Structure 1
């Protein structure tokens, strides 16, 4: 693996982590406080999944709607 690939992968991991933290904050603000295990699951999601969650965060009515994304 080249140095550029290493930096690219590290950047993606940092981006995903920051996006996961933002998702947790938004879900808590607009919907419900979320359990710790959900926070861990959010940090494992793809960036596209986190983006979808953020776009719909103000529309969630139940925890089940959010949990569907965490499988």
Structure 2
């Protein structure tokens, strides 16, 4: 998933399938760089590098345990 500094999902730059469970876990982590930026600090480094989520599981049409790496970088 690709987000802007305001926490908005940028679907045209995102290649992963949408997973609401992991999005719920990512949202609080997105607020850390945003708050740092608003305080005049560099939004880096990321303090929460990995997040995971348990969804319904492969047997029920889900993906099982999903783990994502959170990277913050300047927009290109």
**Fold shared by both chains (TM-score > 0.5):** no
- Structure showing the higher helix proportion among its residues: 1
- Structure showing the higher strand proportion among its residues: 2
Higher relative contact order, chain-length normalized (CA < 8 Å, sep 6+): 1
